[in-house]
Amino acid sequence: MRARDLGIVIGDLAPGPLNAITDVAGVRVGHTTLISGDGPLVVGSGPIRTGVTVILPHEGDPGREPLFAGSHTLNGNGEVTGLEWVRESGMLTTPIGVTNTHSVGVVRDALVAAGMTAGGRARPWSLPGVAETWDGYLNDVDGQHVRAEHLFEALAGATAGPVAEGNVGGGTGMKAFGFKAGIGTASRRVGGDRGGYTVGVLVQANHGRRSHLRVDGVPVGREIGQDEVPGPDVPAPAAGSIVGVVATDAPLLPQQCRRLAQRAELGVARGGGGGENDSGDFFIAFATGNRGLQPEDAEAAPPTVGLTMLNDNHIDALFWAAIEATEEAVVNALVAAETMVGRDGITFHALPHDGLMAVMGRYGRAPR
């Protein structure tokens, strides 16, 4: 179940056929979901409510064929490895992993190893991109249960096509705005006069306080109180984090990718995110519209590479595609996620679809 299945339509642009990041040709997504155990937390034993999600930016190997990329930070209380090389070179050279906060390292080193075993590096070193949010309310996060094999499994299972949302992969134990959340995705296509490009977004949503939740501008979080849907029985839950990946087939240069990544922040803001102090909010954008950026045999290759660049006069459409897709991806994460009971019996409830639509109706938003 997704937002559009409920009749919630965000923004003006049309989504791609899957309304997912995989509408950008070549992009693949894989999830490994780890759920086991119940009851009191025993660090190292569980309960386990976590996983890893991997986004492959094209059908080949980004270690051999990088893509232009850029990033943006809303609030930096989090980790994304590999960011410095993206910023310096303007290129993405590895798949992107998303997992829990305390398993970033193992996933990062596993991506290094995966590149080696596949022969997938033009250079003898690798600087993988791995992002995180913190699932410690439900998961034994200090148990560090994600292992290299879980990353390998996510890589092996990565596919184009529809993307599972909610309690899957890195999003398994996540929550947002006091409801259960996790992975969400959406896409937009810009008009043919703007090049007909697609922008797809995937988020791992773990951010926001209940009272701030907005769905298409409607103050849903204010309207669905703790009496209607209780929040978890924990003291002063922190606001949490959101990480997002923005993909496009437009031929964007690195600085254009960076600008696209910043527009994801605007989409988060429209949904009620505030980049709170405890939040690690990062967005990486990559563009598949240029390939062959790094010839394999660097020394033998000619010193220059031919490229295409989107004329900036047409970039606003892409900006709005990123804004809309990010805003909708967060709603999709909330709509797809199901109530989960985690460690110590802590429960995050799903956002009730009927309650949600009742509020939308009261605020002039009949299902579209």
Could you say which residues in the range 235-254 bind its own copies, by CB under 8 A?
A: 236, 239, 251, 253-254
Residues 290-349 that bind its own copies (CB under 8 A): 293-295, 298-299, 301-316, 319-320, 323
Can 281 be counted among the known catalytic residues? yes
Report the nearest approach of its own copies to the CB of residue 319 (Å).
Answer: 5
Distances (CA, A) of 284 to 4, 80, 84, 93, 322: 25, 9, 12, 13, 12
> Is residue 76 within 8 Å of residue 109, measured between CB atoms?
no
**Count of residues of this chain found to bind its own copies when the rule CB under 8 A is applied:** 103
**Amino acid letter, residue 240:** G
Interacting residues with its own copies between 163 and 192 (CB under 8 A): none
Q: Which of 14, 18, 83, 341 binds its own copies (CB under 8 A)?
A: 83
- Using the minimum distance from each CB to its own copies, give the nearer residue, 61 or 79: 79
Residue (of 125, 115, 110) closest to 62 by Cα position: 115
Of the residues 241, 249, 297, 354, only one is catalytic, namely 241
- Give backbone dihedrals phi and psi of 103, rounded to 5 degrees, phi first: -120, 15
The pairing of strands 241-248 and 280-287 is parallel
Residues between 25 and 44 that touch its own copies (CB under 8 A): 43
For residues 20 and 130, which CB has a smaller minimum distance to its own copies in the complex? 130
Residue 347 in 3-state DSSP?
Answer: strand
Question: What distance lies between CA 276 and its chain's CA centroid?
Answer: 18
The binder of its own copies chosen from 160, 269, 341, 357 (CB under 8 A): 269
Please, which of residues 53-82 interact with its own copies by CB under 8 A? 73-82
Q: Angle at Cα 18 formed by Cα 17 and Cα 24, nearest 5°? A: 85
Taking a C-beta distance cutoff of 8 angstroms, is the pair 277, 77 a contact?
yes
Q: Choose one: 21-29, 128-136, 173-181, 200-208; the region binding its own copies (CB under 8 A).
A: 128-136
| Helix, coil or strand: residue 132 | strand
Residue from 65, 216, 249, 328 in contact with its own copies (CB under 8 A): 216
Is residue 241 flagged as an active site residue? yes
**Of 85-104, which residues contact its own copies (CB under 8 A)?**
85, 87-90, 101-104
Q: Are 323 and 286 in contact (CB under 8 A)?
A: no
CA distances for 363 relative to 97, 106, 180, 217, angstroms: 38, 46, 23, 9
193, 279, 316, 344: the active-site residue: 279
Which of 23, 281, 297, 312 is flagged as catalytic?
Answer: 281
Nearer to its own copies among residue 300 and residue 354 (C-beta): 300
Q: Which of residues 130-159 bind its own copies (CB under 8 A)?
A: 130, 134, 136, 141-142, 144
Q: Which residues are catalytic?
A: 241, 279, 281
